[in-house]
Amino acid sequence: MTTASAPGKVILCGEHAVVYGQPAIALPLLDIRATAVVEAAPAGSGIICAMPDVDEQSTFAPTEAHPLATLLRLTLARLGVAAALDLRITLRSAIPIASGMGSGAALGAALVKALATHFDVPLSVADISTLVYESERFFHGTPSGIDNTVVSYEQAIWFMRGQPDAERSSLPTITPIEVGRPFTLVIADTGVRAPTHVTVGAVRERWQAAPQEFDALFAEIGRLVGEIRAYIAAGRIVELGQALNHNQALLREIGVSSPELEQLIAAAHAAGALGAKLSGGGGGGIMLALVEATSQAAVVRALVEAGAVRVLQTVVT
Ligand code: PMV
């Protein structure tokens, strides 16, 4: 039996502007993970993947049109292993599904790692990331690549998208960032599901209606992301909090905040958070708050009282 795991992720800053060529910073959630267990199954049973967290009965076979089934096929081919095997694979995840926390990519990375270990074929982190990207691309068109990268490398990253479709195509810029002093984030889920492609589409319409205004907002976010990187490297937590607040003000202007997000952000501020903003697509989904040890418990309590359906805590190192 072989077990492997991969972390969830959050976007710290730069969401939406990143679609227009500005940088973003993404962080692994090292203590909130997806796990894959691979074990031999009775002869003739084939390959069955179970996902008991999704639903006790939820299983899929490698032949199905499912992102993880596709990844399973791609990985077995990459490992040079025949698909006609008898294996039981169990995928579990503590990462909320469809919440912008990278659960799909983390399950994928855990699956690839567990299979590589099980069959004793070494894969580099870049190989793992590429396999997960390939399977996501198959289903989501041209994902930016931020999720597979951060969950495979398990490092805070600076990310700028490449131009996969352009005449002069280019790869994304992915650079690990330096964390000068560990800091703590509290992450809260509004419980409102807002698919990323919907908010991204709404922003595109607004940008088309007022390109100069929106380009200026995106550029200002890009500038802030550069400042945030420097504050993280220098361990300047107070300035980091102020910059996150500024990023939220710009996201509000872009029109991707929501009453539920604003309620949680206000509650986090009132309880002493150093900074708070939405994370990911917005319109619902999750927010994050930067806290000190002295305010952490109060912020968690305030978020629950303000209606968060789930509150997670993580230390960024
Ligand atoms: O909601 P998430 O974590 O998938 O993040 C979406 C981030 C956006 O910048 C809004 C879209 C994108 O493709 O980068």
Please write the tens of the pLDDT for every residue from 65-100.
888 899 999 999 999 987 668 999 999 999 988 788
Rg of the chain over CA atoms, in angstroms?
Answer: 20
* Residues whose beta carbon lies within 6 Å of some atom of ligand 1: 11, 15-16, 18-19, 100, 144, 196, 200, 280-281
pLDDT confidence of residue 170: 73
Query: 6: helix, coil or strand?
Result: strand
CB-based contacts of 84, cutoff 8 Å, min separation 6: 46
Which amino acid residue places its CA nearest to atom 11 of ligand 1?
A: 16
Cα–chain center distance at 126: 17
Is 80 exceeded by the pLDDT of residue 143? Answer: no
For a mutational test of ligand 1's pocket, the pick from 99, 139, 146, 149, i.e. the residue with the most ligand atoms closer than 8 A to its C-beta, is 146
Is 70 exceeded by the pLDDT of residue 111? Answer: yes
100 Cα–ligand 1 center, Å: 7
Is 80 exceeded by the pLDDT of residue 229? Answer: yes
Phi, then psi, of 123 in degrees rounded to 5: -120, 140
Angle between the 103-118 and 146-153 helix axes, to the nearest 10 degrees? 50
Query: 217: helix, coil or strand?
Result: helix
Confidence of residue 30 (pLDDT cuts 50, 70, 90): very high
User: Is the whole model's pTM more than 0.75, yes or no?
Assistant: yes
Is 80 exceeded by the pLDDT of residue 161? Answer: yes
**Which residue type sits at 234?**
A
241 Cα–ligand 1 center, Å: 21
